[in-house]
Structure 1
Amino acid sequence: MAIKTIEDLFIHELSDIYSAERQLTKALPKLARASSNPELSTAFETHLEETQGQVERIDQVVELLGVRLKRIKCAAMEGLVEEGKEIIDSIEEGPLRDAALIGGAQKVEHYEIAAYGTLAALAKQLGYTDALPLLLDTLKEEKSTDEKLTLLAKSGGNAQAAASSRAAA
């Protein structure tokens, strides 16, 4: 279907992020298992619960607006998930892998922040006042997760990775 109106764009973007969130629900348990840092594993598990709630919110938006999602696959998330698999496959378990997982997870969060920011702006423009709070709640969660990942990196994750890299050299 061609995108010809702002409503078409909204539905396309909502369909895209729905696909992204569904892909993420499959990837997060793998990231949690691949982490050697218990705090990072917990962060991934917590975000899995949030992501499942975000999928439910999209379902609520669809129901509120009486729209139908398109069957599309979010190529951006597919690439980000693939990067996560490459990290797991190519970096030995430990602080360096954890640092890479944090970086990869932040790429995901930044993508989601951009997507939900766009959806919220479109919803506002379209007058979707019932859907807007749901989208803004998810946007807030995504920003919060990004902040938590930054704190994990700053509170020692990256320093541990640097120390283990120097020791290995």
Structure 2
Amino acid sequence: MTTDSMDELFVEGLQELYYAEQQLVDALETLADQTDDEAASQGFSEHRDETREQIERLEQVFEQIGEEAQTKQEQVIDALIDEHEQFAQENDGDVLDRYNMGVGQKTEHYEIAAYGNLTSLAQKTGHDDVADTLAETLREEQDALEEVTEASEQFDQEEVAG
């Protein structure tokens, strides 16, 4: 991948994130359906709905910068989804529930890094309004990470207690 400018890097990052968010809508649906733990399942469902709103927000960002909303394949997300599919075929019950929570944490960390990077690039390329929009989504992703982490810790405490 050859990129000639920060503007191009920013657009490519948006395209990758747009792809990732679209893939995560379906992945979150799967996680919600597969997870027996009620709190975690509900959290995945709520974040799926929030992710749909984030996709719309990204479409607005593309419009604001005068670019067509396009996706660019993001191998990290594809690998996380593939890894999850393989694990889920071979496991179930509490083990799958806990694994799903871990996958949720991994994807949130990815999204936090991606949105943080793009927020910074938006500022550096003079897109201050876009940076504010991306920062809003960044805060939502940080909140989602906190929620899935709390659900994981609660799940772990219940498992240890017996």
Residue 57 of structure 2 is aligned to residue 57 of structure 1: yes
Report the AA paired with residue 10 of structure 2. Answer: F
Report the AA paired with residue 99 of structure 2. Answer: A
Partner of 1:79: 79
Residue 121 of structure 2 is aligned to residue 122 of structure 1: yes
Shift of 1:127: 1.2
Gaps of 5+ in 2: none
The 1:162–1:81 alpha-carbon spacing in structure 2 relative to 1, beyond 3 Å, is: farther
The 5-angstrom pairing of residues 102-141 of structure 1 reads 102-141=101-140
2: CA distance, partners of 1:152 / 1:109: 14
The 1:28–1:56 alpha-carbon spacing in structure 2 relative to 1, beyond 3 Å, is: same
The 1:81–1:163 alpha-carbon spacing in structure 2 relative to 1, beyond 3 Å, is: farther
**TM-score computed with the length of structure 1 as normaliser:** 0.90
Shift of 1:86: 2.3
2: CA distance, partners of 1:128 / 1:12: 15
The 1:162–1:84 alpha-carbon spacing in structure 2 relative to 1, beyond 3 Å, is: farther
Report the AA paired with residue 151 of structure 2. Answer: L
The 5-angstrom pairing of residues 38-53 of structure 1 reads 38-53=38-53
Q: Contact 1:62–1:68 (CA<8 Å) still a contact in 2?
A: yes
Partner of 2:91: 91
Q: Identical aligned pairs, as a percentage?
A: 33
Shift of 1:162: 5.2
1: CA distance, partners of 2:26 / 2:36: 19
Q: Contact 1:96–1:160 (CA<8 Å) still a contact in 2?
A: no
Q: What is the total number of aligned residue pairs between the two structures?
A: 162
**TM-score computed with the length of structure 2 as normaliser:** 0.93
